Structure 1
Amino acid sequence: MSIPTSLGHTKKLMAQKAKEEASLQEKKKAEASVVVPQNGIVLTQEKLEEVMPEVIAHFKGKGKVLELAILNQPSRMEGHEICLEVMGHVQEEIAQKMKPELLSLIRDLTGAGKLAIKLVTKEEVEPHSNKLYTSTDKLRFLKEKHPALAEFQKKFGLETDF
């Protein structure tokens, strides 16, 4: 990009840059659009489960380990959408990148026409139990889990503080 010498030249450069960005966005949209065959075959959960081993083998053959981690998680059909469960934003980004390849592969294997992939972000659930930091907390937890331990504590005079 050259340095503008006048206001008119600046406007001309800005218009040229806007045209370039518009054409670039049109190219991206054209690449993102996937041709959907209209043959009327509907993908069912059973058919999806039949072809998933082949899909997994395809990604395994290419050495795509991160994609395999996503594909090995449970997937289900909701209407014409395949719901893939992902854990966190990292897997979500990977799944977004593999969507076109996965869609075309499933379409080729099943012959299904109307098909989409929906990502369901599943958060890891932390246990609601308190953390056991002190010896007293640990002993209390073990006594709740094993009541016989309270008898041993009385009989032998066990203490957590020494």
Structure 2
Amino acid sequence: MSKLKSTTRIPKNLDDLAKKTEEEKGEEEIHHVEETFGSDSFTPEQLTQVWNDFAESRKAEGKNSEHMVMKQEFYLKDPTTIVIKFLNPVKIDILDRFRPALLKHLKRKLNNGKISLETELIEAQSQRMIYTNQEKFAYLTEKKPILRDLQNRLGLDTDF
């Protein structure tokens, strides 16, 4: 009867197992070659052009939700930090799905590896709907205070 060889070695200590996986990760990182980018400066116009190119490529691929996210307002916080303004947190989740591809595209096209992307959630100002005659009159008197004086002089009632 032949003796079977063990293909895996069971570690005696869990720390040995953790150390081994860390060493393997380190070796993978050494062998993994990353694309490097320069540190060229860019203008807001160049950024807008590259941004719009990426947005149109998403639209051409049929990824309309990503295209919609790309059409949000954005600005440069500092020379390499791009901030996108959102009114809806759902759009941030959509951005997170393709953020790595967007960053890689921006870094490659603008030749700047320091580019980062931030999001800013803006609260939309809710406007109260005006329904009743009193509410309508109150709104108009805020705009034109002279209406209150006219109401008093003429003895008008807002409820008719």
Aligned pairs for 1:1-162 within 5 A: 35=34, 37-77=36-76, 78-127=78-127, 131-145=129-143, 147=146, 151=150, 159-162=157-160
**CA, structure 1 residues 106+38, in 2 after alignment: closer, same or farther (shift >3 Å)?**
closer
Aligned mates of 2:38, 2:135 — CA distance in 1:
64
Alpha carbons of structure 1 residues 113 and 149: separation in structure 2 relative to 1, 3 Å: same
Q: Identify unmatched segments of 5+ residues in structure 1.
A: 1-14
What TM-score, normalized to structure 2?
A: 0.62
Q: Take 2:41 and 2:120, find their aligned partners in 1: how far apart are those partners?
A: 21
Q: Give RMSD over aligned pairs.
A: 3.5
Letter aligned with residue 140 of structure 2: L
CA distance in 1, matches of 2:81, 2:138: 49
Identity over aligned pairs, percent: 22
Task: Say which one has the larger Rg.
Answer: 2
Q: Deviations for 1:62-110, whole angstroms, at most 9, x for unmatched residues?
A: 1222222222122222232221122222011111111011112223322
* 1:120 alignment partner, SS class: strand
Deviation of 1:152 after TM superposition, in Å, equals 8.3
Name the SS for the 1:84 alignment partner: strand
Task: Give yes or no for contact 2:85–2:121 (8 Å, CA) kept in 1.
Answer: yes
The runs of 5 or more residues in structure 2 that have no matched partner are: 1-13
CA distance in 1, matches of 2:103, 2:85: 16
Q: TM-score, normalised by structure 1?
A: 0.62
Bigger helix share: 1
2:37–2:107 contact (8 Å) kept in structure 1: no
Work out whether residues 36 and 113 of structure 1, in 8 Å CA contact, stay in contact via their aligned partners in 2: no
Q: Distance in 1 between matches of 2:52 and 2:142?
A: 45
Return 36-45 or 52-61, whichever deviates more: 36-45
